[in-house]
Structure 1
Amino acid sequence: HAAGPEPEELDVFMGRDFLITYQDHELAVIGAVVADLQAGITLRTGVDGILHAIADRLTDDLLPLVNRLANHLDDIEDDILAQPSQLLQHDILTVRSLAGRIRRLLTAQLQVTQRLSRGEFEYVAEPNRIYFRDVYDHLVRIDFSLEGLREDTDVALSTYLSSVNNELSTVMKVLAIVATLALPSTVITGIFGTNFDNVPGLHSSEGFLLMVASMVALGLGMGIYFRRKGWF
């Protein structure tokens, strides 16, 4: 949803012959590992092998989320090129915020997994440390992907602002041309609207037509000149 996935805290207590997990809400990852155990699916040996299965599944769940964010950003960039809007700017900032949140949460997992792979915990057997190292490497790659995603949001935001500025420049250009074309008519009507009786053509029966013809001729002439200059 718009606010992104809500983080869940998972606490793990491990001893020589036990592994206890605690979370406020049921996690699909824990249920999947328990189902594997009940089905007799072979996991790594020991309680540290079960911990590895949990860590591995948690890591595997992160990558599709990052990929969805990247694909969403690609769609946003396509929409920017087609038709930039204020909503797209909000979407870009949302993706950037989500990438930052996930990366901050990932930092704790990186630190713990690295310590598990280094053998800092006595209940992690030597043969299983390499598997935690593999999980750590996956987390590092995901972290790099998130960093790249945040950089891509900066590019997308820059593209959006450039597109908006181009549209604004086009609008201002049109308004300036319209104002310039209307200027001769304003001057002419201002002259004929003065309180002097000796204005040429003021009391002539054809004075009005002369005034309108002058405005049209000047407008057309200026329009042709602007067109030849490539100003519109």
Structure 2
Amino acid sequence: MVTLIKNTLKEFESLEKAIFEAENTKEPYWIDINMPQEHEFSILKKHFHFHPITIQNCTQKIKRSKIHDYNEYHFITITSSGDLVKGFFPYKNIHIFINKDFIITIHYNENKIIKKIFTELKKKSNACIKGTDFILYNILDEIVDQYFILTDKLENHIDILEEKAMMRPVQQTAAEIMKLKKNIMKLRHTVSPIRELLSTLLRHDDIISETNRIYYSDIYDHILRIYDLIESEQEMITSCLELYSSQLSNSMNKVMKLLTIITTIMMPLTIITGVYGMNFEYMPELHCRYAYFIVLFVMALITICEIIFFKKKGY
């Protein structure tokens, strides 16, 4: 349990103590709860009168980013991204309760974004004075910045796959392209609700003060840029898949071309050997002393002539 009060970070063993000390200051505060227990949800519900649906949302797995308005507070769920794990980017929810007096964040497992923001806000002497909406801005800004990093990683990965598709159009490359395509689609489905969330927040005068509105406008511009980047990456990965299919088709054509040339070269030789493989009794060449060597010479000559012909034709 970590609390930010007057830009001082404090850890508490119990939620009751954190709430008691925070409210005694009569100033805006931030309480962060990691791995909340059932009794802590009961305390939140009893003390702040949070709606049971919001409490239930905090206990569920990954949900879309959204905002719900209640009389005395607002409930926000936002999805943050993590580092690449086994070819996929994990996503985690941060649940936020906010009004003019407090901001309470709930998440599961250590969240690097929250930890980083706590450290940065501790250095800013006026963070809490600027209001809970300024703290919310810092959380949203850091989450959006992480998506910029994520899109950069995906773009670099696409470039590598394009080179692989061009040089080595093998089955493994196709599997990597499809996995990356799923990553981009999932990222698009994750970012789209965040864009809607930020658009809704900009219309909430009861959450965002006029002083801090410019910060939210900046985040909204960033999320629009990220969404455009994702759209561009979707087109790039589709082109990459088409390039793979084209290169694979070219490789198959080369193989078929080589096999056709070999078959064409072998065809007259097969005819000759087939003729002399017939079991007729009266075949004059069978009793010729040098017939075997003559036939081999003719077969070799035909092969050489065919190879020269195909080379001149550019086959």
Taking structure 2 as the reference length, what is the TM-score of the superposition? 0.69
Task: State the distance in 2 between where 1:189 and 1:6 align.
Answer: 66
Residues 70 and 42 (structure 1 numbering): CA distance in 2 closer, same or farther, change over 3 Å? farther
1:112 counterpart (197, 201, 206): 197
- 1:153-164 matches, within 5 Å, as 153-164=237-248
Does structure 1 residue 184 correspond to structure 2 residue 272? no
Greater displacement, 202-211 / 137-146: 202-211
How far apart are 1:176 and its partner, in Å? 0.7
> 2:203 is matched by which residue type in structure 1?
R
> 2:306 is matched by which residue type in structure 1?
M
1:80 counterpart (162, 165, 170): 165
Does structure 1 residue 50 correspond to structure 2 residue 135? yes
2:102 counterpart (18, 30, 51): 18
How far apart are 1:118 and its partner, in Å? 1.7
Q: Name the structure 2 match of 1:70.
A: 155
Q: Name the structure 2 match of 1:93.
A: 178
Count of paired positions: 230
| 2:195/2:223 contact within 8 Å kept | yes
Does structure 1 residue 215 correspond to structure 2 residue 299? yes
RMSD: 1.6
Task: State the distance in 1 between where 2:294 and 2:125 align.
Answer: 97
Residues 222 and 200 (structure 1 numbering): CA distance in 2 closer, same or farther, change over 3 Å? farther
Does structure 1 residue 126 correspond to structure 2 residue 232? no
> 2:86 is matched by which residue type in structure 1?
A
How far apart are 1:169 and its partner, in Å? 0.9
How far apart are 1:82 and its partner, in Å? 2.8
More helix by share: 1
| 1:114/1:132 contact within 8 Å kept | no
In structure 2, runs of 5+ residues without a counterpart are: 1-84
Identity %: 29
Deviations 1:51-109 (A, max 9, x none): 01100111111101110110111122123333332222222222211111111111221
> 2:183 is matched by which residue type in structure 1?
L
Task: State the distance in 2 between where 1:39 and 1:223 align.
Answer: 79
Taking structure 1 as the reference length, what is the TM-score of the superposition? 0.92
| 1:11/1:23 contact within 8 Å kept | yes
How far apart are 1:41 and its partner, in Å? 4.5
Task: State the distance in 1 between where 2:162 and 2:260 align.
Answer: 31
In structure 1, runs of 5+ residues without a counterpart are: none
How far apart are 1:127 and its partner, in Å? 2.4
1:61 counterpart (146, 151, 156): 146
| 2:202/2:213 contact within 8 Å kept | yes
| 1:52/1:132 contact within 8 Å kept | yes
